Structure 1
Amino acid sequence: MIKKGLTSLAIFFLYLLSLLPFWFLYLIADFLYLILFYIAGYRRAVVQENLRNSFPEKTEDERKIIEKKYFHYLADLFVETIKAISMTEKQVKRRMYLLNEEVVQHYFEQNRSIVAVVGHYGNWEWGALRTSFLTNHRRIIIYKPLHDKASDELYKKVRSKFGVTLVTMKATLRKMVEYRNELSISVFASDQTPVREEAHFFTPFLNQPTAVFLGIEKIATLFNSVVIFADIRRVKRGYYQCTFVPLIEEPKQTAEYQITEAHVQYLEKVIREEPPYWLWSHRRWKFKPE
């Protein structure tokens, strides 16, 4: 009972915090950056190792600049994720601008469903919210449940509040078969880390052999869904824009691993162009191929 009460209190506090104006939340983010970077040193060793392995061609000073910018962004991302709890449709559309949503409509007019690939880059949580207003066809977000049940429930509630369908990674195939007679856009993360037992395919990514899930390729091929990349870029503090980039139009005509390598390589291109806005504190390279 105590644990449940504390959880409810924490969620209520986060909701109240989300009601604060953006300018005040970014003041909190500035303070949070100081704590994360200078006081707590939150995963700085992980970030430094990831940057060193990913960009051996850069100088130590260049990597330090990326590291500092990353922690500024991470603090902003933290308060922006909280703000998502109470964001309105108008706020979502204004702060996550779609440059070419007609690409999605074009494939729907051809009676084609879509697999949209994103990375943990920019603000993918706001991107998930923006998907809610993209079309009247079914919108599906594939997600990996959090270990903490209370946090997972909160994330599910926020992500689905405007009408998207949430599907866990393990239930993806079953649900996609269930929805196979409907036009849909399904959003998958390109850079989730599989557990060792499921790491069946490695491909070069940021200068390192990297384990990649093959689910995107399998689903796209099975249902012949067009594969596009949702390229989310940070325009300025609190504002993002998304460009839909077609990667594969005829999945059934591709070679094995072609789809997987296409979306992994595109994400690397995005990261190399603006490195600070990827999730560098994530332990992406937990293990190497044998």
Structure 2
Amino acid sequence: MKLLVNLCSYLGYGMLWGVSFLPLPVMYLVTDVLFVILFYGVHYRRKVVDMNLRNSFPEKSEEERKRIARKYYRHLCDTFAEFYKLWHISEDEIKRRCVMVNMDVPHRYFEQGRSVIAFSGHYGNWEMMYSYKLWEKDVELIPIYKPIHNKVFDRMTCKIRSRFGATPLAKADTLRVMLRNQQEGKITMTGFIGDQTPNKRSLHFWTRFLNQDTAVLEGTERIARKLNQPVVFVNMRKVKRGYYHAEFYDLCSDPQSLEPGELTRMHIQMLERFIREEPAYWLWSHRRWKHKRAVVA
């Protein structure tokens, strides 16, 4: 059985490697077909998407939410193509397709000799952010990620994400490596995706997010406070199909001055602001609210 899984994994690896050589406009023809299959055919996670949109936007009509859902599925399919295209896309093309905006926000901290923590969410196409070092060559970009159980696809994903010089770091090693980098005086930008669902053992912090009680991971805030590294927010704004602006916003220059939980709330509120501006580009098929807050009698 293991041999069969490995064989299928390597076949999938080879197929995706070959497809990634195609120009993006050609890859979009494939994702147009994939959209029809997922949305109209197999109804991929339609119940999850519909429920999330209904609970997040009760003020919108059913027709408005359906339009958001259709647009979301088109965008989701496109992100598959855009991610695998990173495998072979040229530096010039990725810099045209993902423009860094407001780079002076993190840059002024780098000039002070300080490393930066970058908060973001599953919005726009967050994978495009891995091209950051093409714009800021003297700063190490360290995106935190959760390893994939399938070792073949885990290596493939890390290979794509490190293509332009980023150094992906497994979640379990985050604090140890960040402490070492700070002790060695390395200037880094460590990237965290802050809208994942906590596991049952981590349901400690709750806040309002998109009209719902939402459990939020506190790990990034704890690290920011421990190391007192300034925190910026990165919004991946979709300009048009295949083109994004990575916009930097200052969140906090002194995390240790904040009350516990305040930095997490600031990040969640900013993410919600951008989602409400253009809802279709957030990851609605994720079961973000599968945990409910316990009712205290």
Bin of the TM-score, shorter chain as denominator length: over 0.9
Structure 2 residue corresponding to 1:245, chosen from 237, 240, 249: 249
Distance 1:201 1:157 in 2: 34
1:72 and 2:67 matched: no
Give the match for residue 261 of structure 1: 265
1:53 and 2:43 matched: no
Give the match for residue 11 of structure 2: 9
Larger mean Cα displacement after TM superposition, 62-71 or 73-82? 73-82
Give the match for residue 21 of structure 1: 23
CA offsets 1:171-230 (integer angstroms, 9 cap, x no match): 111111111121111100010111011121111111111111111211111111111001
SS of the residue aligned with 1:241?
A: strand
1:160 and 2:156 matched: no
Give 1:110 deviation, angstroms.
Answer: 1.3
Distance 1:207 1:266 in 2: 14
Distance 1:263 1:33 in 2: 31
Distance 1:132 1:185 in 2: 14
Give the match for residue 237 of structure 2: 233
Aligned-pair identity in percent equals 45
Q: Is the 8 A contact 2:84 2:160 kept in 1?
A: no
Give the match for residue 34 of structure 2: 32
Structure 1 residue corresponding to 2:89, chosen from 63, 87, 90: 87
Give 1:285 deviation, angstroms.
Answer: 0.8
Q: TM-score, normalised by structure 2?
A: 0.94
Distance 1:144 1:7 in 2: 19
Q: Is the 8 A contact 1:132 1:139 kept in 2?
A: no
Distance 2:280 2:260 in 1: 32
Give 1:60 deviation, angstroms.
Answer: 0.7
Q: Is the 8 A contact 2:115 2:188 kept in 1?
A: yes
One-letter code aligned to 1:9: L
Unaligned stretches of 5+ residues in structure 2: none
Give 1:104 deviation, angstroms.
Answer: 2.0
Q: Is the 8 A contact 1:92 1:130 kept in 2?
A: no
Give the match for residue 204 of structure 2: 200
Distance 1:86 1:44 in 2: 32
Give 1:132 deviation, angstroms.
Answer: 5.5
SS of the residue aligned with 2:165?
A: coil
Distance 1:73 1:131 in 2: 25
Give the match for residue 289 of structure 1: 293
Larger mean Cα displacement after TM superposition, 54-63 or 149-158? 149-158
Q: TM-score, normalised by structure 1?
A: 0.96
Give the match for residue 118 of structure 1: 120
One-letter code aligned to 1:60: E
Distance 2:181 2:97 in 1: 30
Give 1:129 deviation, angstroms.
Answer: 2.9
1:127-138 to structure 2, matched below 5 A, reads 127-131=129-133, 133-138=135-140
Q: Is the 8 A contact 2:133 2:165 kept in 1?
A: no
Q: Is the 8 A contact 2:143 2:190 kept in 1?
A: yes
SS of the residue aligned with 1:130?
A: helix
How many residues are matched? 290
Give the match for residue 178 of structure 1: 180
Give 1:2 deviation, angstroms.
Answer: 4.1
Please provide the CA RMSD for this pair. 1.3
Larger mean Cα displacement after TM superposition, 200-209 or 95-104? 95-104
Distance 1:236 1:4 in 2: 38
Distance 1:129 1:98 in 2: 9
Give the match for residue 214 of structure 1: 218
Give the match for residue 279 of structure 1: 283
Larger mean Cα displacement after TM superposition, 105-114 or 2-11? 2-11
Q: Is the 8 A contact 1:15 1:85 kept in 2?
A: yes
Distance 2:12 2:217 in 1: 34
Give 1:161 deviation, angstroms.
Answer: 2.1
